[in-house]
Structure 1
């Protein structure tokens, strides 16, 4: 008789008075202590229901297969087979363990190599940062005491001079860096929640754009519009001309509001400062002027900045509207405090033959993009004034004439003699090109459209890196009247303003939206 639990002959058999089943005592005692019921029937069971069965001591018979030589040989063969199978399993486990160990050692070696490379790059970056900090000296403390520094030199306008005879710059302070960083964080958060406005002009609208009006704004002796900007809150267009002036034009009324005269050579760049009454102009006469409007509509030059030694090609305003940057052919760009007109930092990359021809702030404000006379695009970290990326995708057929960041913060468009290049700032590579001569390139404020100015005006629909950027509209050819030098989208892309070398400001929009432009067109025809 066998135990109902183990199936073996019990050494100390007991029987249940309820079910009559036979059990090994130690097994049924453990089961009752844990569960309190019969393991077979499931009925409640206690030790009082268990009765011990008394048996005599008998010798267990030997197995039959051990009673003969062939049986013993068979038993040995079975043992040998079991040993071989066990040995084979152990060898497989050893092989697997060796592979895992080899892989772990390889990963450890690779990790050590990566750590060593990162340490090397970190040390190189620290050395580069230290070199940059040495090239940008801190503001001398003796300036507050109005005394000369150790070499006894002073600039013509009272500024301190360094040992090399160059002006000392205070540098971008930690407070300013904190302000720029906070602005960047706020704008980045807004961009994540930003949606394309419902009032944005649709693709069908842009396809129906036509020329609404044309306005001759600058003198005929030196014709040509070189730069342009739009103040969206008042719908005022500023143009910089080859006649050394900048003109503020009210688009709804078609009237010239003010003419800014103060430069001695062509105005290469003009920018509004947010929604304020401040206007910046840069000129080939090596100066930058800061203009402030008055109640009577006139503009006064509050600062004339003379920190560059060659033509100033571009100005761009930071998102805080407190600072701006100017870029010059003297191979430097300057970071200014707008309220005081003080140049806080003047940055050069050390190349003597590479002047800057274009500049634009990234929408978040911590990155500055510049174009050079050698067809190279350079990206700068404003906080450290370090060159963090260089794009050389243009073929070297002339200077980079314009740079424009998309509002989404991912794309950069650059224009040069060999066409327009689109760059992915996340991967630092050129992902699309438009191979025709371009003088200007501009994203609209929503980042939905891209305008390119050359012999004609081309408007593209923006897309992702892998998707196609479709050509929406080609506006009239300007090659017979003068090449287009600048293009800007109006608010919500409701119109497109184009400046050209024939001194005309052209407005393109939907037929029937001319409003006051009709009256101004009559004056332009005369």
Structure 2
């Protein structure tokens, strides 16, 4: 693989400005960036707005703000997520609501507002089919919403089990299994028993090689067989599940297990991690730095589990904390990062000639 001997750098393509407060989260539209369709992504901020950015048709290395979604949320917009079709955008806010936006002829209209959480909604995620939506909150709960005909969303489950603030929810890329990570240092795995009853089927945490502090984010590899998590304990952890690793239980569920810990590369809280379709892991942290990791294919065969190596580091990627790093779903090695400094940066992972 080219990462074994190659030399790489992160080239800054563009700095996007417009938000007037910290930028919390980024989300690429999965229906764009392919077949000649310009890439589109959303950003959300402490300025109570969401911005829609589109790749310029004249130059692939330029992005323009095409829309500003405002006057709906009354507090910080903490998270945003596109439906798999790219037709709907969900935004989660500290005002305890989730808004659903539809692109109608280039204009975004708020078609539904979901209420129920007691306070700040921290994260939101669509399942692979777009039929379910998950939200989580400072109120320690995870809610699952079912998409009905039209613009109706019904809450079908309120999941309790975390003992503190839930920071992120993320659906498995191919199965209707939900993952949540929390201030209580754990990752919980939730599933439907087949009779519309959702429950926690596994908790990943100490003493079984779990994180020792707040778990901020998680991301799956392209196959969905591996997951990476990041934490206030300054580590990234790789988890795996596969029937070849260990037998599935009586319900056919193969539990997740810890494979490897990446440590010693960030010196402040790691807020965001994202695994690209090509197998490249990016992390962003409160040390203003971005780190890029790849699997080390030259690992010692005697070591149990995969090893990951640092491909490169970008020390002062932003002037302040980095809250989100997201690889483009397109073919190009394109990375977007968002920061407390109010800006978004576009980066290209490029090889360096000797």
TM-score for both structures, normalised by structure 1: 0.48
1:385 aligns with 2:272: no
Cα distance 1:198–1:462, how it changes in 2: closer, same or farther (>3 A)? farther
1:452 pairs with one of 332, 337, 340: 337
SS of the equivalent of 1:226 reads strand
Assess if the C-alpha contact under 8 Å between 1:374 and 1:396 holds in 2.
no
How far the C-alpha of 1:269 sits from its partner, in A, is: 1.0
How far the C-alpha of 1:198 sits from its partner, in A, is: 3.8
Cα distance 1:234–1:460, how it changes in 2: closer, same or farther (>3 A)? closer
| Cα distance per residue 1:24-83 (max 9 Å; x no partner) | xxxxxxxxxxxxxxxxxxxxxxxxxxxxxxxxxxxxxxxxxxxxxxxxxxxxxxxxxxxx
> Structure 2: how far apart are the matches of 1:231 and 1:440?
19
How far the C-alpha of 1:432 sits from its partner, in A, is: 1.6
Match of 2:25 in 1: none
Structure 1 segments of 4 or more deviating over 4 A?
none
Cα distance 1:268–1:292, how it changes in 2: closer, same or farther (>3 A)? same
Match of 2:149 in 1: 295
Match of 1:340 in 2: 197
Between 1 and 2, higher relative CO (CA 8 Å, sep ≥ 6) is seen in 2
How far the C-alpha of 1:352 sits from its partner, in A, is: 7.8
Match of 1:190 in 2: none
Cα distance 1:459–1:262, how it changes in 2: closer, same or farther (>3 A)? same
How far the C-alpha of 1:217 sits from its partner, in A, is: 5.3
1:355 pairs with one of 201, 214, 217: 214
Structure 1 runs not aligned, ≥5 long: 1-195, 469-526
Cα distance 1:259–1:356, how it changes in 2: closer, same or farther (>3 A)? same
How far the C-alpha of 1:225 sits from its partner, in A, is: 1.1
> Equivalences for 1:277-288 in 2 at 5 Å?
277-288=131-142
Q: Greater CA deviation, 361-370 or 380-389?
A: 380-389
Assess if the C-alpha contact under 8 Å between 1:325 and 1:334 holds in 2.
yes
Match of 1:483 in 2: none
Assess if the C-alpha contact under 8 Å between 1:218 and 1:224 holds in 2.
no
> Structure 2: how far apart are the matches of 1:275 and 1:352?
31
> Structure 2: how far apart are the matches of 1:259 and 1:206?
35
2:271 pairs with one of 398, 401, 407: 401
Match of 1:484 in 2: none
2:349 pairs with one of 443, 448, 462: 462
Match of 2:160 in 1: 306
Assess if the C-alpha contact under 8 Å between 1:311 and 1:330 holds in 2.
yes
1:256 aligns with 2:136: no
Assess if the C-alpha contact under 8 Å between 1:452 and 1:458 holds in 2.
yes
Cα distance 1:467–1:215, how it changes in 2: closer, same or farther (>3 A)? farther
1:233 aligns with 2:233: no
Match of 2:8 in 1: none
Assess if the C-alpha contact under 8 Å between 1:349 and 1:387 holds in 2.
no
2:36 pairs with one of 184, 199, 218: 199
Larger Rg over CA atoms: 1
**Which structure shows the bigger proportion of residues in helix conformation?**
1
Match of 1:323 in 2: 177
Structure 2 runs not aligned, ≥5 long: 1-32, 39-54, 243-254, 297-306
Assess if the C-alpha contact under 8 Å between 2:284 and 2:325 holds in 1.
yes
**Which structure shows the bigger proportion of residues in strand conformation?**
2
Q: CA RMSD in A?
A: 2.4
Q: What is the aligned residue count?
A: 268
> Structure 2: how far apart are the matches of 1:458 and 1:218?
26
